[in-house]
A = this chain, B = another copy of it.
Amino acid sequence: MSSVPPVVAVLGPDGPRIVAPDEPVVTVDDLGLTRGDGCFDSALVVDTSRSLRCDDAASKGAPHHRVRDLEEHLDRLDRSAAALDLEGPPRAAWVALVDAAVDAWSTPGDASIKLVLTRGREWGPEAGPTAFAVVTARPAGRPQRGGGGSDPLRVVTLTKGHPSDAFVDAPWLLGGVKTLSYVVNVAAQREGRRRGADDVIFTTTDGFALDGPMAGLLVVREGRWLSTPTGGTGILASVSVATILDAAAADGHESAFELVRVEHLHDADGVWLVASSRGPTPVGEIDGRPVRVDPDLVSQAARYAGF
């Protein structure tokens, strides 16, 4: 936790309200708390005074900060809410909430924003869903835009316990939905640390790589830029992975969403875990065996991601 206090904005009946980080906001019957019944999304908050990507220059919120790919993240949040049969606030209310949070954030440099939507209270009075936004400083040690990346990750593979087609025709399993029920992801990262690793790549019972507990997976193999398909795999669509694959394709590379066998991670040209708030982070070791880290490819992936 950085020493910079977060900014918390809560959506009330009269619009966004900035609350102190220590102020209790949620009652004990909030279904987000008691059932993990809600969804969230996270995005990078770019300090446009040190912009590296030209479209960041068009500031929408505060004078110095704007949320990168806000529309894409709000679209994904809408899809998550729809999958949960949860009617959240209208787009304008989300944008007002984001604007209020980002306006109140004055720390120089990039930051992260998290948007949270829960089903709201189980008991009356009927107040509707709970919605809030939190802006936090990016943890030290994470790669910064233009900062040349960080040390490659040591990763272990852990089974997710299901085959790669488990989510076909089973929408109640909430594949692809970024829900608040994230405890298995947290436990898997804890297991990874227990094994001396920095992070985890989930695998299927039929031998394919899925994604990380809190990140998408990018693999470059035989010159092709690849990531795990959504749908039957249950993985979350990653905004940043899509950005990278699009940029790779535009740059003349073959790119595709296709399953990669776990053993093919080891003969890949490069493997990354990718999250909006930290960009593509190269993987240097999987299950104790080294994975190729090519500095040129690492720079290329960072550039494609706008980092």
A158 within 8 A of B: yes
* B33 & A32 in contact (Cβ 8 Å cutoff): yes
* B35 & A6 in contact (Cβ 8 Å cutoff): no
CA distance A161 to B10 in the complex (A): 36
Interface residues of A in 1-27 (CB under 8 A from B): 1, 5-6, 8, 10, 21-27
Number of interface residues of A (CB under 8 A): 62
A298 within 8 A of B: no
Question: Which chain B residues lie closer than 8 Å to A161 at the CB level?
Answer: 162, 166-167, 170, 173, 234
A160 within 8 A of B: yes
Question: Which chain B residues lie closer than 8 Å to A134 at the CB level?
Answer: 28-29
A33-B180, A181-B184 given; name 18 further pairs at CB < 8 Å: A6-B123, A25-B28, A26-B30, A31-B186, A33-B33, A35-B36, A35-B180, A35-B182, A36-B36, A37-B186, A159-B173, A161-B170, A162-B162, A166-B205, A171-B191, A172-B187, A179-B181, A180-B183
CA distance A159 to B171 in the complex (A): 10
Q: Across the interface, name the chain B residue whose C-beta is closest to A166.
A: B161
Other-chain residue from B1, B33, B123, B183 in contact with A84 (beta carbon distance below 8 A): B183
Question: Which chain B residues lie closer than 8 Å to A219 at the CB level?
Answer: none
Interface residues of A in 244-271 (CB under 8 A from B): none
CA distance A101 to B159 in the complex (A): 41
* Sample of 19 A–B contacts (CB below 8 Å): A1-B124, A5-B123, A21-B29, A23-B27, A24-B24, A26-B33, A33-B116, A33-B118, A34-B182, A36-B36, A36-B182, A37-B182, A37-B183, A84-B187, A161-B162, A161-B234, A172-B187, A172-B188, A173-B187
A122 within 8 A of B: yes
